[in-house]
Every structure is written in structure tokens, then in C-alpha cells.
């Protein structure tokens, strides 16, 4: 656990460094990432769903003209426009995640139920859960969820199918963590 914590702290320090952050939030780079994300939304979810996600993003960002070249006002510097566009990209990805939640939540609930059933079956066979598998799956789920959250926030290229694929990976890890959860003694 401490290795994962140190890796996340190192990644946060590296990405917020003075030399890295301006390169990640450059206006041209972020505008290209937003356009690529919108194109992926149109291609995979359809124009109507993509338009709803973009519209919710603009409402959350507080300005419908955030993608215009003069976003942030006429006196905004390139860095301020870049940060604003990076925030818009983050909000767009968060709204896309919210659009996937009606599909992912039942999947995760089914994973918990399946893990519980497998745990009950194993308890009647006197085999119980394997603590190493439980720990591996639990840490894997925390790591995958943290990496997914970090990827949604960072202005880096991210393919749209990564959200449902990460959701399926989390479902598998949740099933393993619940199925191999050790018995509590009390």
C-alpha cells in the first residue's frame, strides 16, 4: 500500500511541476484533446447523447463560449485559457463517466452479489477465503480506481472505451475481493 501511495504522490508532484503543467495545459494541446474527445463521443454514443454530455459540461463550466479562442475574456493570458480548457476537458470526461454510471452501477452491484455468493459457497466447503487473493484484488481495485480518476483529471489523450473497460476491470476485482474476504471473528 505504501508503494502505491508513494507512486501517486510522485506522479502528483511530477505532473504539477512548473515545467510539466504548462505543457499539459497548453491551449493548442488541450483544444485538440477536447475536439478528439467530442469526436469519440459522437462516434460511440451517438450525436444526441454526445450533445447532452457537451451541454452539461458547458453548464458546469459556467460558460457556453469556453471553447472559443477568447475563452476567459479578452484579458486572459494563454495560461489562464489553457487552465480553463483543461478544466473543461476534465468536466467533459466527468460528465461522460456520469453517463456511463447507469450501466456501471448495476454491474458493480452484481459483482458484489456474485462475490458474496461465491464466498458463501466456499464457506460451506470449509475452504474459506484466501487472504492474499483478497488483498491483491482489493489493492488492485483501489489502484485501478485511483488511476482511472487520475486519468480523467489529467489533460492527456484518453480513449473513450477506457471508461467501460475500467468499469469491467473493477467489477472483476470487486468480485475477487468480496469472494475471498476472510471471516470476521467476533
Tens digit of pLDDT for each residue in 14-61? Answer: 555 545 556 556 677 777 877 887 787 777 777 787 787 777 777 776
Residue with the bigger pLDDT between 12 and 135: it is 135
Q: Which of 142, 141, 149, 137 is nearest to 179 (CA)?
A: 137
71, 134 contact by CB (below 8 A) = no
Q: What is the 3-state secondary structure (H, E, C) of the chain?
A: CHHHHHHHHHHHHHHCCCCCHHHHCCHHHHHHHHHHHHHHHHHHHCHHHHHHHHHHHHHHHCCCCCCCCCCCCCCCCHHHHHHHHHHHHHHHHHHHHHHHHHHHHHHHHHHHHHHHHHHHHHHHCCCCCCHHHHHHHHHHHHHHHHHHHHHHHCCCCCCCCHHHHHHHHHHHHHHHHHHCCCCCCC
Residue 65 has pLDDT above 80, yes or no: no
If you compute the radius of gyration of the chain from its CA atoms, what whole number of angstroms results?
A: 21
Contact partners, residue 82, CB within 8 Å, separation at least 6: 22, 25, 26, 27, 30
As a whole number of angstroms, the distance between CA 37 and CA 15 comes to: 21
Tens digit of pLDDT for each residue in 130-148? Answer: 889 999 999 999 999 888 8
Q: Which of 28-32, 103-107, 112-116, 118-122 shows the lowest mean pLDDT across its residues? A: 28-32
Q: Is the dihedral of CA 55, 16, 100, 102 positive or negative?
A: negative
Amino acid at each position: 500500500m505504501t508503494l502505491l501511495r508513494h507512486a501517486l504522490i510522485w506522479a502528483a508532484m511530477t505532473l504539477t511541476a512548473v515545467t510539466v503543467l504548462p505543457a499539459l495545459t497548453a491551449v493548442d494541446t488541450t483544444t485538440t484533446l477536447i475536439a478528439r474527445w467530442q469526436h469519440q463521443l459522437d462516434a460511440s454514443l451517438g450525436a444526441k447523447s454526445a450533445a447532452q454530455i457537451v451541454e452539461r459540461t458547458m453548464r458546469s463550466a459556467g460558460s457556453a463560449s469556453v471553447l472559443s479562442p477568447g475563452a476567459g475574456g479578452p484579458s486572459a493570458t494563454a495560461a489562464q485559457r489553457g487552465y480553463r480548457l483543461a478544466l473543461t476537458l476534465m468536466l467533459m470526461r466527468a460528465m461522460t463517466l456520469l453517463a456511463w454510471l447507469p450501466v456501471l452501477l448495476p454491474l458493480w452491484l452484481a459483482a458484489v452479489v456474485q462475490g458474496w455468493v461465491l464466498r458463501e459457497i466456499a464457506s460451506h466447503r470449509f475452504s474459506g477465503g484466501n487472504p492474499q487473493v483478497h488483498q491483491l484484488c482489493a489493492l488492485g481495485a483501489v489502484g485501478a480506481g485511483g488511476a482511472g480518476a487520475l486519468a480523467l483529471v489529467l489533460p492527456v489523450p484518453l480513449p473513450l472505451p477506457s471508461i467501460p473497460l475500467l468499469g469491467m476491470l473493477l467489477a472483476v476485482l470487486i468480485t475477487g475481493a468480496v469472494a475471498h474476504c476472510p471471516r470476521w471473528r467476533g
